[in-house]
Structure 1
Amino acid sequence: MPKLTLKIDADTYRGTRVGVPNLISQLRRHGAGATFLFSLGPDHTGWALKQIFRPGFFSKVSRTSVVEHYGIKTLMYGTLLPAPDIGKTCADFMRQAHAAGFECGIHTWDHRVWQDNVRTADAQWTTETMQQAYGRYHDIFGHAPRTHGAAGWQMNDHAFVQLDQFGIAYSSDGRSQLREDGSLADQDAGPHRLSVFGKPLSCVQLPTTLPTLDEILGRTIRGKLIDAGNAAELLLELTKTPRDHVFTLHAELEGQKLAPIFERLLAGWRAQGYELVSMGDYYQSIQNDVLPILPISWGELPGRSGDMILQAM
């Protein structure tokens, strides 16, 4: 049975408090596994306004209704409003996911700061920032994390090395290369290990293989304008041929306004014969395979602005 891994990024204070409990209920109704990855420090979402000069920013904002999905208050955190400390104020919501039987892991310390700075950061900044997230995770859950998923699919060489030093067995820090219609550009895309500073790392990478909802909504794909009514149909078309996949969703989106689309996806993937699993479940199924060792690669994907970690072809 092919596996469809559900990787949930909780980026914000609101997403953790509202979206995470909603997703827990929805996933349990469907008997689906999933991995929740948490931002564990301050919510500086308001700093995203600095991106107004970034190519593609305005088109994404207009397509995905950022204000509607994230809320005015969230978009003021770190600017007109103080940044709430997610790990301190939302720890109980995080522990709810663990108590409900879902795998939990690290997304980042401060989503905005990491996404904007890590690519060019030095070893000291990278290590100190990751240590903050690691320590906070341990404080909340009482044990060390086993998995990680980078904010904005942004990393650097030092960050990948640090995952090995933490003993992170598997992570989802990058993306597979996609065509304009969302299909995989490389049919061999999937689990791999990275080579950094001339040495292979132990951590297994489980890249996201499907486009995210915010990357397809509002775009014309395969001759159709993709909206809330047909977004699930497009993704189900992409998964029609059985193979393992990793799908990234967001507590701020699928956990709130886009929940009806996710509901159709869950039912549709079940009907297609997929087992809906966590990253840990997926890792257990492939850990004995001989995996390719690939270099770190960067590039852009349709529907998302800026470079991110892409699986080398």
Structure 2
Amino acid sequence: MPTIVLKIDVDTYRGTREGVPNLVRILKQHQANATFLFSLGKDHTGWAMRRVFRPGFFSKVSRTSVLEHYGFKTLMYGVMLPAPDIGKLCVEEMRSVKRAGFECGIHTWDHVVWQDNVRKRGESWTRKQMGLAYERYLEIFGAAPKTFGAAGWQMNPEAFAQLDRYQMQYSSDSRAMLKEDGSLANPLAGPYRLRHEGKEFQCIQMPTTLPTLDEILGVEINGETITEGNIASHLLSLTAEPRNHVFTMHAELEGQKLAPILVELLNGWAEQGYQCISMGQYYANIREQELPIHDLTWAELPGRSGEMVALN
């Protein structure tokens, strides 16, 4: 049976408080599994406005209505309002996910700080950021995290080395390259082991192989504008041919205003014969396989601004 690995990035305080419980409820109703990756430090979402000069930024925020999905208050955190400490204020929401039977892992300490800085930072900065998240995760869950998924698919070589030091066996920090319509540029793209400057990392990478909702919403594809009314059918067309996929969701989108689209997807994937599973379940399925080795590379993807770790 082909599988859809559901990976949920939880970026903000609001997403943790409101989006996460909604997602747990929806997934339970549809007997779908998933992995929740939490931001564990302060919510400095307002700092993201500094990306205003990044190519493609205006296009993305205008298409996806950032204000509508994230809310004015969230966009003021760290600017006009104090940044709430997610890992202190949302302990119960996070623990409830674990109690509900879902896998939990680390997304980041501070989402905006990591996404905007990690590529150009060195060993000391990287270890500190990852260490803060690791220790906070231990405080909340009482056990070491098994997995990680980088904010904005942004990493550096030291971050990958740190995953191995933490003995994380699988992570999702990269993107498979996509065509303009969201289909895979390389149909064979899948889990792999990463190599950089001759060093092979042990932690298996599970690249996201489908476009996210915010990447294709409002985009014209094959002469048709992708809207909230047809985005699910478009994504389902990308999974019509059975194969394993990794789909990244966001608690701020699928967990809130775009929840009806998630329901459409879950129903559609069930009809297509897919099983929705967690990253841990996927790892159990592939752990004995001999996986390809790929060098660390960066690339831009349609619908998203800036480069990210990419599987070419």
User: Normalising TM by the smaller chain, what interval?
Assistant: over 0.9
Give the deviation of 1:188 after TM superposition. 1.1
Q: For 1:78-97, list aligned pairs within 5 A.
A: 78-97=78-97
Structure 2 residue 113 is the aligned partner of structure 1 residue 113 = yes
Alpha-carbon offset, residue 293 of structure 1: 1.0
- Alignment of 1:130 with 2:130, yes or no, is yes
Residue 180 of structure 1 is matched in structure 2 by 180
Equivalence for 2:231 = 231
Show the counterpart of 2:241. Answer: 241
Q: Provide Cα deviations, 1:182-230, integer angstroms capped at 9, x if missing partner.
A: 0000011010010134221110000000000000000001221000000
1:40 aligns with 2:40: yes
Equivalent residues in 2 for 1:17-28 (5 A)? Answer: 17-28=17-28
**CA distance, structure 2, for counterparts of residue 271 and residue 196 of structure 1:** 40
4+ runs deviating over 2 angstroms? none
Counterpart of 1:214? 214
TM-score for both structures, normalised by structure 2: 0.99
**Cα distance in structure 1, aligned partners of 2:141 and 2:198:** 35
1:98 maps to 98
SS of residue in 2 equivalent to 1:247 = strand
Q: Deviations over 1:270-290 (max 9, x none)?
A: 000001000000111011110
Corresponding residue number in structure 1 for 2:270: 270
- Give me the whole-angstrom Cα distance separating, in 2, the residues matched to 1:3 and 1:59: 32
Residue identity (%)? 64
TM-score calculated relative to the size of structure 1? 0.99
Residue by residue over 1:260-303, the C-alpha shift from the partner in whole angstroms, topping out at 9 and shown as x without a partner, is 11110000000000010000001110111100111101010000
Q: Tell me the amino acid that sits aligned with residue 260 of structure 1.
A: P
RMSD: 0.6
Instruction: Name the count of aligned residue pairs.
Output: 312
How far apart are the structure 2 equivalents of 1:32 and 1:222?
A: 31
C-alpha distance in 2 between matches for 1:197 and 1:134: 27
Task: Describe the SS at the equivalent of 1:310.
Answer: strand
The 2-side partners of 1:5 and 1:223 are apart by 30
| Residues in 2 aligned to 1:219 and 1:267: alpha-carbon distance in whole angstroms | 24
Q: Distance in 1 between matches of 2:113 and 2:246?
A: 25
1:189 and 2:164 matched: no
Question: What per-residue deviation string (whole Å, max 9, x for no partner) do you get for residues 3-62 of structure 1?
Answer: 100000000000000000000000000000000000000000000110111111111111
* Structure 1: tracts of 5 or more residues without a match: none
Q: Which residue of 1 aligns with 2:205?
A: 205
C-alpha distance in 1 between matches for 2:196 and 2:146: 20
